[in-house]
Amino acid sequence: MGDKAEIQQKPTARRVARGWPVFAIIAVAIMAFLAGGFGGSYQGKLGEVQKNDNASFLPGSAESTKASDESAKFLKIESIPGFVVFHRDSGLTADDKGRIEKARAAVAAVPGVDKQGLLPAQFSDDATTASLFVPLVAKDNGVTVNGQDLSTNEQNVVDAARQAATADGLEVLPAGPGGLLVAFIDSFNGLDGALLGSALIVVIVILLFVYRSPVLWIFPILADVLALGIASLVIYYLAKHDVITLNGQSQGILSVLVLGAGTDYALLLTSRYREELHEYDNRFDAMITAWKESAAAIFASAATVIAGLLCLTFSELNSNKGLGPVAAIGIACTVLVMMTFLPVALALAGRWVFWPRRPRTDHQSDISTHGLWGRIAGTVVGRRRPAWIGATVILLFCVLGVTMLNTSGLTVQDSFTTNPDAVVGQRLYDAKFDKGAGAPAVIVTNAAAADEVIKRASSIEGVAQKPGSVCVQVDIAKVTALAGQSGGGGAPAAAACPPAALQVEPIDGRTVVNANLVDSYDSPAAIDTVKRLRSALHAIPNADVMIGGSTASTLDVQQAAVHDRNLIIPIVLAVIFVVLALLLRSLLAPVLLIASVVLSFGATLGVSAFAFEHIFHFAGADQSFPLFAFVFLVALGIDYNIFLMTRVREESLEFGTREGIRRGLSVTGGVITSAGIVLAATFAVLTVIPLVFLAEIGFAVAFGVLLDTILVRSILVPALSHDIGKKIWWPSALSTAKD
């Protein structure tokens, strides 16, 4: 009744024509609400379709993938090597050894264990530690075991071993690639809810401060949740049918990306809606106008982010290739909800949602010369040259820190910010046993060249020299049958290569040779050994060697990450340039904006390198870190320049470029700064996940977004643009208009 009464009392009130697009938006809003509510349950089911192992990350063209596919022909069951480690500081007692044998029997009964691959316990030279080799079934008759089942099976193994070997002072710990992989998977289990919950709390606190309303924050948060529900529904079915690859990292990033970007769009729309409520008596007219005026910036921002993210589909790594569509779907669902459900909900709610600061129709929305940001804008344009030169010097100084950035990769042990049992067990195993045991280099070769392959491989630095270290793969079925005939309890550990009768039979003229390494499978030393093996064995005539295994997979992941970085970064820049050129109808402005964000990216890397080494004491960074940081910082960081420059262009059409810059910065300063703080805070929440890679991404994006928001968008871009003047719009007509 309030709106109608006001219109009747004020016949001169402004009105907006309404047509079919309004009703289409309402219809989509209703569907988004229903789909988002239904899809909410699928967020908890995304873990069922995750793939977190190196093999699923790699393309079919990778050498380790080809080797794995071929070596699988020789095994009915493909397994992930793992160990259970038993340790007593004072030395294992006779009773301990009996308990360890009971543990071996208990572990053999656990579903998901490759029973044929079980070996008797091995004891360290100092008699303080024992290890059981317990491989987990990763693929049985071509059916892959998913990550959650692997995690459950590994936990059951550890529980069974601990229960059977319970004794005061006897430690029982997981170790090996299996244990570490499961620790990696477990780091995500149950954390999606904690991650989203933490991010929601942070965003709610910020929105309460920004809106200064106990009610208004509910609407953007509800819209964020609906957007995440729709995205989860779509991603679940795409991942389930192998259209995209989803891993724990992608799922964690999805939550914070939707929440951060969605709240940014909501802030921009709500801020413009508040402005228009000062101009229109009717709240629906105000929202229609706010929607029209905000749509270009929001859709352009979303298109830029989506385009940048989809560039990741050019990746060799399936993990990167999967992240692109996963995150792009999240952004698409977010902008859909924010531009349909949110405006409809706000318009239906009315002015009371802004209580206690309800906007009145007083035609006082022009605040470009008032308030804190009016004063900031006046200072920036008044001292434009010292401002942009000073900002540039600060950024260049930060860039110097890039020389400290170590992207040689992280071992699995160094990948956790916590100290899970598998890491403790692996360190203990490495200290007491051959580090490379259980995860050999898998060499697939022509059977006729097997002897020469074994001879060459045995001479390579980093390959174990003990008897039986480089051998044709043993046929587990034959060994198990032989052990059964002799009444043995399983396959003994061979001191030398098994006789030909116990080796795998060649298939199509090919065979498999296993080479034990001296170093832990994911260490830089082991990776260098695989490089040497490939160089030497590829040169053997008529051998057609391919080398796989855990170390080779790690190497191929690292090399693919470097390839992706060098390929995708230029593509992202080109795509963003095209989007900006179309939006701003200028060629010079996009160059300026992209250059400023790239400079900010370099400064962020420099500061991050310093923080990683001297504050957080991380062992290094993953090869994919620069690419992920670039995509998120450039794609998201350019958003704030889009929000600013679209408003500047709007103001420039009426007031001229230089005045338009001042007015644009004044009006958008508060909302864009709030948006930057929200996005930085949500990405900072990634540190909830106990993985170094995500902690580094969270820090870099949070710092970089704040740098973009406070220094680049608030000072560098407007000051430099003001200094250049109307030529910033070249070659559009605005570049020659009267200023």
Category of 294 on φ-ψ map: left (φ > 0), alpha (ψ -120 to 50) or beta: alpha
In 597-684, which ranges are E strands?
Answer: none
Round to the nearest angstrom and report the end-to-end CA distance of the chain.
45
Backbone angles phi, psi at 520, to 5 degrees: -55, 140
Bridge-based pairing of strands 546-548 and 436-446 is: antiparallel
Residue 334 CA to residue 232 CA, distance in Å, equals: 12
| Cα-Cα-Cα-Cα dihedral sign, residues 181, 182, 187, 191 | positive
* Cβ atoms of 519 and 526 closer than 8 Å: yes
Q: What is the pLDDT of residue 12?
A: 41
Tokens of 568: 């995708």
| Adjacency order of strands within the sheet including 129-133 | 122-123, 129-133, 83-87, 171-175
Please give the model's pTM, rounded to 2 decimal places.
0.81
* Cβ atoms of 513 and 470 closer than 8 Å: yes
Low-confidence ranges of the chain (pLDDT < 70): 1-20, 52-56, 142, 147, 188-194, 363-370, 479-495, 739
- What's the count of helices (H) and strands (E) in the chain, helices before strands? 25, 11
Residue 96 CA to residue 100 CA, distance in Å, equals: 6
CATH level 3 topology of 62-186: Alpha-Beta Plaits (3.30.70)
Residue intervals of the chain classified under CATH 3.30.70.1710 are: 62-186
Residues 6+ apart with CB under 8 A from 565: 623, 624, 626, 627, 630
Q: What is the pLDDT of residue 5?
A: 39
Residue 65 bridge partners (DSSP): none
Q: What is the pLDDT of residue 178?
A: 79
Q: What is the dihedral of CA 290, 294, 295, 297, to 10 degrees?
A: 180
* Cβ atoms of 527 and 556 closer than 8 Å: no
Residues 6+ apart with CB under 8 A from 481: none
